[in-house]
Amino acid sequence: MTNNASSLPIFEHINTDIGLKYLNQNRELYLKILDNFLKKYKDIELNTLKNKELHNIIHAIKGLASTLGMTSLERVSSQVHQQKNPSRELIEECSRVLKVIIKELNLLLPSNKSEISTILIINNEPNEIDELIEILDDDFDILLALNKYEALELFEEEKIDLVILHTELEDLCGLSVFNFLKKHTNIQEIPLIFITKKENESEIKDIYPLQNISFIYRPFQKKKLMKQIKIFSNS
């Protein structure tokens, strides 16, 4: 007996007709397998794996991609699997395609829906920006403002769900950025994560006794940052 009760997202990189045909039109089962694929491979870095481990994982990904309708991933993973010593470029291409699929599943699967989808980073320190984007880019739409005026423009043009603000921007105090945006935007209604020194945390809490603020310190840890974002998503 097939189950058509579960509606499917509209994917750009997954042919759901292929997956549904293989699973006898069972949408609920199809969504469950997609969710399992996401959980299993979301943190995989193919270019760090040894030959045998890479071969085994690529073999599994190739089979699932074929079953689930991930045609571009099936094609490139098949090419990797066919070669005893695949080139670095081919592995990187396979990794890129896998990350595109993972990002789409993260954004569109019903079980993975989050109230937070767009994050504004207000920062002008290149290394920190790179670190944050590397951590967040697979799971969220990222906007970047280098100063308060760029941030204001983005607030006027975009729906922002969370802000990550450095308290000590070069040539500009991050707290003054917050005060500026507070006058002109709805930033007080949006979850806010401050990048700060630990000794500054109590000072900021005294100045901004808001419920929806949190703090992170360098070096950034992906698990801690994602946990804080998840808390805001569920609040």
Q: 119 and 222 in one domain?
A: yes
Round to whole Å and give the CA distance between 112 and 94. Answer: 24
At 195, the pLDDT band (50, 70, 90 cuts) reads confident
Q: 64 and 107 in one domain?
A: yes
Round to whole Å and give the CA distance between 58 and 65. Answer: 10
pLDDT reading at 3 higher than 50: no
- Identify whether 221 is part of a domain: yes
Question: What is the model's pTM?
Answer: 0.51
For 197, phi and psi rounded to 5 degrees? -80, 145
Q: Which of 93, 111, 129 is the last residue of a domain?
A: 111
Q: 122 and 57 in one domain?
A: no
Q: 149 and 182 in one domain?
A: yes
- Identify whether 38 is part of a domain: yes
What total number of domains does the chain contain?
A: 2
Q: 93 and 125 in one domain?
A: no
* pLDDT tens string 86-130: 999 999 999 999 999 998 898 788 766 556 789 999 998 888 899
| 34 or 195: which leads in pLDDT | 34
Q: Which of 111, 145, 163 is the last residue of a domain?
A: 111
Q: 127 and 94 in one domain?
A: no
pLDDT reading at 190 higher than 90: no
Give the burial string for 122-139 (b: 16+ CB within 10 Å, else e): bbbbeebbebbeebbeeb
Instruction: Tell me which residue range forms the domain holding 132.
Output: 114-234
Round to whole Å and give the CA distance between 132 and 217. Answer: 12
H-state helical runs in 2-87: 16-22, 27-41, 51-68, 71-82
Lowest mean pLDDT among 1-10, 81-90, 137-146: 1-10
